Amino acid sequence: MVSPAQPPLRKRAQAAAEQLLDRLGARPRVALLLGTGHAAISHQLAERRVLPRQDLPGGLILAEESHLVAGRLEGVPVLVGDAPLPAYAGHSLAEVTFPVRVLHAMGVELLVLTAGAASLTRHIEPGSIAVVEDHMNFAGVQPLQGPPDDDLGPRFPDMSAPYPARWRKLARDRAAEVGVPCFEGVFAAVPGPSLPTRAEYRFLRRAGADLVGMSLVPEVMAAVHSGLDVLALCGVTQLVHVERTLPTDIEEMLDAADLAAPRMASLLTGIVRRIGSMPPPGGDDVSIRE
């Protein structure tokens, strides 16, 4: 028996967005899809509403224990969730990037992505926060492949500036205000789940990478394709000494992640506070009723 064809991706994303907006009652200005350890900021939300995984619209793939949390942070309507599951977990790129399509359809103003990353440069130390200024895609993934769909975005989207300068500057300024060590860097995406070899780390460093991780890039590509602004932040979990052969110390990585987590929360709060002082695009009303 032939399965019925699925509706176009745009229609599925729009339907999921409408379901979420109907439940929330207000359009979030900022969506935060946060890496491991970073989503604890959701406990700071006022008017907090938890949307359990099993109650989310079809197609929104989250980890088994995950959920979305809506509310207000510094008075700003936000939606907080864990980062999309990585492609190396066996999910298709369409599944990985579908949440981004839904957030764009909801009218989100800014998508903030966070992840853990290794540093390849001495000035970006473990426990610090790195603002992604550009990326290199060595993960072998390209979520925009397939039949073109002009309703989703252009066939050949310009990726010359995927991380808008104004949001990067905002992050650096807020980091300076709250005393969080923060640096800009180029992020290299690798497939995972195995860590790179020492030779691969050396290659990536010589190619111009400052940071290495296994996420971010598919979601960023989908966001740029949709016309959704992105800010990507990395909690630095280790410093890779490319000139020496040293095994990765998982305990040290966890310690660095624990150090970066409260810094990330402080930085995110400052960023959202600043956005709250900016008028929303199209006016002050963020109600879903137009």
pTM reported for the whole predicted model: 0.90
Q: What is the pLDDT of residue 3?
A: 44
Burial of 228 (0-12, 13-18, 19+ CB in 10 A): buried
Name the amino acid, one letter, at 41: I
Q: What is the pLDDT of residue 36?
A: 73
Q: What is the pLDDT of residue 284?
A: 47
DSSP assignment of 167-212, as one string?
Answer: HHHHHHHHHHHHT--EEEEEEEE---SSPPPHHHHHHHHHHT-SEE
Q: What is the pLDDT of residue 63?
A: 66
Fold (CATH) for 9-276:
Rossmann fold (3.40.50)
Mean pLDDT score of the chain: 85
Q: What is the pLDDT of residue 290?
A: 31
What are the residue ranges spanned by the domains of the chain?
Answer: 9-276
| Tens-place pLDDT, residues 74-130 | 999 999 988 777 777 777 888 888 899 999 999 999 999 999 899 999 889 888 899
Q: What is the pLDDT of residue 2?
A: 38
Q: What is the pLDDT of residue 171?
A: 95
Q: Which residues in the chain land under pLDDT 70?
A: 1-6, 59, 61-65, 244-258, 282-290
